[in-house]
Chain A
Amino acid sequence: MEWIEVYIHEVTKRLPEKQRNDIALELKSSILDALPENYTLDDEKAVLADLGDPAEIAKNYRDAPSYLIGPDYYDLFMTTVKMILQLAIGFAIAYIVFEGVVTYLDSNQDWTYIFTVFGKGIWTVLSTAIQVVFWVAFVFIIMERTGVAPYEIAGTGAKWTPDDLKNITVIPKKKGITKVDIFAAFLWTAIWGSIYFFALDIVGIYTQNNQETGLTLLTPIFNQEFLLSFWPLVLIVLLCELTLTVYKWVKRQWTKSLATINTVYQLLYTIVFLLIILQPNLFHSDLINELSQIFNTTAANISSILDTIIGVSIAVTIISAVYASYDGFKKSKIKNDTLL
């Protein structure tokens, strides 16, 4: 008798409490039915062997699926995880680069600091990946249990027909946006953002000194305090740039809406750039003096050279903004190749 009780307990302990009593009673009655009269321990064992592993029978009794994410959701789960992983890791890397550059410039780290950043980067990417997989899985497990069918959440919700094949297109190379483009864009934002916000004071004219430290700052180029007073505008530009990059990432190709957004961004960027660069006290007050000493010429000369540089930068910025906007629209007009 004890053997049977232990066996039944092994089964029911794996089941929801509500069902335990009833299943225990039924199992016991079935087991006793299978036993001969005046049975021995060996008989009991034989019957139990026939019933098999308690875990197996408990699994058969359970109504809930014995998997976390079933075949219906698997594909969707994998696509979602991949997509979000890329985004999250991209952001993690951008953040690490940003933070690394800032810390490097802020405190007098030597070049081996790159290893610290690298190590931290690996750790951050790993923990980001774990977080992403966990949370996406969490959502899917809930969906699996609440029974939302995948096609109900998949965009159109319509059933597949052969005509859908006509919508399958290949993005032509010229129209597409590669991951390298995206990465470069994030990196660029991270670099200029960190220099602007944290390191304007060390962008400057350096001179070789005789000590081992190498370089001495003669004068910063820009008037940091003044430039930083524009920070809300610059922050807006930075956020727009990030948004644009994320949008590119999602679209993976130039479309009319992307080209429009791109144009708006280029316009905004150019306006802010002009607004800042045309200010009279853009440069550090020592700059002209130091430069005229270095090049052995008058302050007036240096100032006119600086004016020329400003003029050229303005021209280059405007031309490149116009070209980038135009290029976006041009690329967006390239037709996708259909396969049918």
Chain B
Amino acid sequence: MKELLHSLTTELKRGTLTLAVLSQLDQPQYGYSLVQNLEQSGIEIEQSTLYPLLRRLEKQELVTSSWDTTESRPRKYYQLSDYGKTIFAALKEEWTKMSTEMNLLLEGEKKNGMD
């Protein structure tokens, strides 16, 4: 049961990862800072998932990247593109709608359960 729960939870989270990452990329971020930011917000994302995900977002033209070589070691920074901003706004709206609906649904179930 524990295993099933784990796999279901992973599946549930997977869909929200893109949204979570996009939400942090208003300002330029590099890989590890993003991990820390997300972790602080309580969202755990494997680094082995995040770094490839960033590249994929770049390929989909949702984010742009640039190497910053001014500091002690070079870092690759990612930031939302204009297209990415539009998509993020739409996704966010979708999320708000969905979570409201889900909450209603789950609340309803709770009430029914108490009857």
Contacts and interface: CB of A to CB of B under 8 A. Distances in A.
B52 interface: yes
Contact of A26 (B31, B35, B46, B53): B31
A51 B45 CA distance: 11
Contacts of A53: 48
Candidate in A29, A32, A53 with the most chain B CB atoms within 10 angstroms: A29
Interface string A55-68: 01100110100000
Interface string B11-49: 000000000000000000011110100000000001111
Nearest to A52: B48
A25 interface: yes
Interface residues of A, number: 18
A29 B52 contact: no
B interface SS class: helix
A23 B30 CA distance: 13
Interface residues of B, number: 20
B30 to A, nearest CB: 7
Contacts, number: 50
22 contacts: A25-B76, A26-B31, A26-B51, A26-B76, A29-B76, A30-B30, A33-B30, A33-B31, A33-B33, A33-B75, A34-B47, A51-B47, A52-B46, A52-B48, A53-B48, A56-B48, A57-B52, A60-B49, A60-B51, A60-B52, A61-B52, A63-B59
> Which 8 A-B pairs give the minimum distances between C-beta atoms?
A33-B32, A60-B52, A57-B48, A30-B31, A61-B52, A52-B48, A26-B76, A30-B32
Interface of B: 30-33, 35, 46-49, 51-53, 55-56, 59, 67, 73-76
